[in-house]
Protein backbone atom coordinates (compact mmCIF):
# COMPACT_ATOMS: atom_id res chain seq x y z
CA UNK A 1 0.00 0.00 0.00
CA UNK A 2 1.02 3.63 -0.33
CA UNK A 3 2.34 5.38 2.76
CA UNK A 4 -0.14 7.93 4.12
CA UNK A 5 2.56 9.86 5.99
CA UNK A 6 5.08 10.75 3.28
CA UNK A 7 2.67 9.95 0.41
CA UNK A 8 5.52 8.83 -1.85
CA UNK A 9 6.84 5.59 -0.36
CA UNK A 10 5.30 2.16 -0.56
CA UNK A 11 5.07 -0.25 2.33
CA UNK A 12 6.47 -3.76 2.54
CA UNK A 13 5.87 -6.48 5.07
CA UNK A 14 8.61 -6.51 7.68
CA UNK A 15 9.44 -6.56 11.36
CA UNK A 16 9.50 -3.50 13.58
CA UNK A 17 9.77 -2.43 17.20
CA UNK A 18 6.68 -0.81 18.69
CA UNK A 19 6.94 1.52 21.67
CA UNK A 20 3.77 2.34 23.57
CA UNK A 21 3.13 4.50 26.59
CA UNK A 22 0.35 3.98 29.12
CA UNK A 23 0.39 6.47 32.01
CA UNK A 24 3.77 5.84 33.66
CA UNK A 25 4.47 2.61 31.82
CA UNK A 26 6.56 2.34 28.67
CA UNK A 27 6.27 -0.91 26.78
CA UNK A 28 8.65 -1.85 24.01
CA UNK A 29 7.56 -4.77 21.87
CA UNK A 30 10.10 -6.21 19.47
CA UNK A 31 9.66 -8.35 16.37
CA UNK A 32 6.21 -7.01 15.53
CA UNK A 33 5.04 -7.85 12.00
CA UNK A 34 4.06 -4.65 10.19
CA UNK A 35 3.85 -2.93 6.84
CA UNK A 36 6.85 -0.59 6.77
CA UNK A 37 7.36 2.39 4.47
CA UNK A 38 10.48 2.07 2.32
CA UNK A 39 10.94 5.86 2.34
CA UNK A 40 10.13 7.29 5.78
CA UNK A 41 10.09 4.13 7.91
CA UNK A 42 6.56 4.67 9.20
CA UNK A 43 4.94 1.38 10.17
CA UNK A 44 1.35 0.21 9.90
CA UNK A 45 -0.02 -2.56 12.08
CA UNK A 46 -2.83 -4.81 10.96
CA UNK A 47 -5.97 -4.79 13.11
CA UNK A 48 -5.30 -8.05 15.03
CA UNK A 49 -1.62 -7.16 15.57
CA UNK A 50 -2.55 -3.69 16.85
CA UNK A 51 -5.16 -5.16 19.21
CA UNK A 52 -2.56 -7.59 20.52
CA UNK A 53 0.18 -5.01 21.23
CA UNK A 54 -2.31 -2.59 22.82
CA UNK A 55 -3.60 -5.39 25.07
CA UNK A 56 -0.02 -6.23 26.06
CA UNK A 57 0.65 -2.57 26.89
CA UNK A 58 -2.53 -2.34 28.97
CA UNK A 59 -1.58 -5.50 30.82
CA UNK A 60 1.90 -4.10 31.63
CA UNK A 61 0.34 -0.82 32.82
CA UNK A 62 -1.95 -2.73 35.17
CA UNK A 63 1.13 -4.29 36.76
CA UNK A 64 2.61 -0.76 37.17
CA UNK A 65 5.97 -1.64 35.65
CA UNK A 66 7.87 1.41 34.45
CA UNK A 67 9.60 -0.07 31.43
CA UNK A 68 9.00 -3.45 29.90
CA UNK A 69 10.58 -4.97 26.83
CA UNK A 70 8.67 -7.79 25.23
CA UNK A 71 8.95 -9.89 22.13
CA UNK A 72 5.86 -10.21 20.00
CA UNK A 73 4.66 -13.80 19.86
CA UNK A 74 1.91 -14.51 17.35
ZN1 LIG B 1 6.42 6.90 4.11
Query: Ligand 1 center to residue 6 CA distance, Å?
Result: 4
Confidence (pLDDT) at 74: 67
Answer whether residue 3 shows pLDDT above 80: yes
CATH of residue 16: 3.10.20
User: Do the domain assignments include residue 58?
Assistant: yes
User: Do the domain assignments include residue 50?
Assistant: yes
- What 8-state DSSP symbol labels residue 2? B
Query: Ligand 1 center to residue 7 CA distance, Å?
Result: 6
What total number of domains does the chain contain?
1
User: Do the domain assignments include residue 28?
Assistant: yes
Query: Ligand 1 center to residue 59 CA distance, Å?
Result: 31
Average pLDDT (35-58) is 96
C-alpha distances out from residue 30 to 1, 40, 70, 71, 73, Å = 23, 19, 6, 5, 9
Gap between the Cα atoms of 3 and 25, Å rounded: 29
User: Do the domain assignments include residue 5?
Assistant: no
User: Do the domain assignments include residue 3?
Assistant: no
Domain that holds residue 44: 11-71
Q: How many secondary structure helices (H) and strands (E) does the chain include?
A: 1, 4
User: Do the domain assignments include residue 1?
Assistant: no
User: Do the domain assignments include residue 24?
Assistant: yes
Summarize pLDDT for 8-28 with one digit per residue, the tens.
999 999 999 999 999 899 999
Amino acid sequence: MKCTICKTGHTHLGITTVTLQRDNTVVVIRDVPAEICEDCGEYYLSEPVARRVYADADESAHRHVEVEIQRYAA
